[in-house]
């Protein structure tokens, strides 16, 4: 199997799988550690709470498989909560994150600010402010709109890993990139043609 989408009970697994398959990629949902080890690329999607999802990962022994895949420099994509799990801590929970990237996950807090009328969670379409030469954003115009659904956002310690940002009261990190490691806060499977292009770009990296 070329691309494994890690199964830990998150709600959007099948839609991510179908998006890859629609584009002709050999992709499947699995929690089999051998399959993850043999895959050419790995996707960690996610919806739900930080602690609950991490508990499922650890209960199924998947943390080590994820760490091994990243250490082997396989193309790796964290989506939404899957991106947040790459960091050390989150204000949403008490568990330690995967700590692949230094930094923490914060909650939008617009109280006592000029943006206090903004709703949380941040839901709907918003633009990407792209950094230069990010492989999964190849062919995508700066300012392109993608679909978000989240109350928390990652705050990387190393600003060099920021691949895109988005304005929502504050300018927050909407994607990260380090080598073959990518994380995106938005949902590409719900983001129309732009999202499919991002999925295709990642899939193509897996086949190199």
Per-residue pLDDT reduced to its tens digit, 173-190: 999 999 999 999 999 999
Domain that holds residue 57: 3-206
Does the structure show a pLDDT above 90 at 10? no
Is 85 known to be catalytic? Answer: no
Q: 18 and 195 in contact (C-beta within 8 Å)? A: no
pLDDT tier, 208 (very low <50, low <70, confident <90, very high otherwise):
confident
pLDDT tier, 115 (very low <50, low <70, confident <90, very high otherwise):
confident
Is 141 known to be catalytic? Answer: no
Bridging pattern class, strands 181-184 and 122-127: unpaired
* 115 or 2, higher pLDDT: 2
Is 189 known to be catalytic? Answer: yes
Say which of 122, 150, 189, 206 is annotated catalytic: 189
Say which of 17, 80, 122, 206 is annotated catalytic: 80
Say which of 85, 122, 150, 187 is annotated catalytic: 187
Domain with residue 28: its CATH number is: 3.40.50.880
Q: Residues, the chain, total?
A: 208
Both tokens of residue 51?
A: 């602690």
Overall pTM surpassing 0.75 (yes/no):
yes
Rounded distance between C-alpha atoms, residue 86 and residue 101, angstroms: 6
Does the structure show a pLDDT above 70 at 11? no
Does the structure show a pLDDT above 70 at 1? no
Calculate the average pLDDT of the chain. Answer: 94
* 107 or 112, higher pLDDT: 107
Q: What does the pLDDT average to over 28-42? A: 95
- Give CA separation, 154 vs 37, 74, 104, 165, in Å: 27, 22, 6, 11
Total number of domains constituting the chain: 1
Q: How many CB atoms lie within 10 A of CB 157?
A: 11
Does the structure show a pLDDT above 80 at 20? yes
* 14 or 149, higher pLDDT: 149
Which has the closest alpha carbon to 162: 148, 170, 173? 173
Q: 130 and 137 in contact (C-beta within 8 Å)? A: yes
52-61, pLDDT tens digit by residue?
999 999 999 9
């Amino acid at each position: 199997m070329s691309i494994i989408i890690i199964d830990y009970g998150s709600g959007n697994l099948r839609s991510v799988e179908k998006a890859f398959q629609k584009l002709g990629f050999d992709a499947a949902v699995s929690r089999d550690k051998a399959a993850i080890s043999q895959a050419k690329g790995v996707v960690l999607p996610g919806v739900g709470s930080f602690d609950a999802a991490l508990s499922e990962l650890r209960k199924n022994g998947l943390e080590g498989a994820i760490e091994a895949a990243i250490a082997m420099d396989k193309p790796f994509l964290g989506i939404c909560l899957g991106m947040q799990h790459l960091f050390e801590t989150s204000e949403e929970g008490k568990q330690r994150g995967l700590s692949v990237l230094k930094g923490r996950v914060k909650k939008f807090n617009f109280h006592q600010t000029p943006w206090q009328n903004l709703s949380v969670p941040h839901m709907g379409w918003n633009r990407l402010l792209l950094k230069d030469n990010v492989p999964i954003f190849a062919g995508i115009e700066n300012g392109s709109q993608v679909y978000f659904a989240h109350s928390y956002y990652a705050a990387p310690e190393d600003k060099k890993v920021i691949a895109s940002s988005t304005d929502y009261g504050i300018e927050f990190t909407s994607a990260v990139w380090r080598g073959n490691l990518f994380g995106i806060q938005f949902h590409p499977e719900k983001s129309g043609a732009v999202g499919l292009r991002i999925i295709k770009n990642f899939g193509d990296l897996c086949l190199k």
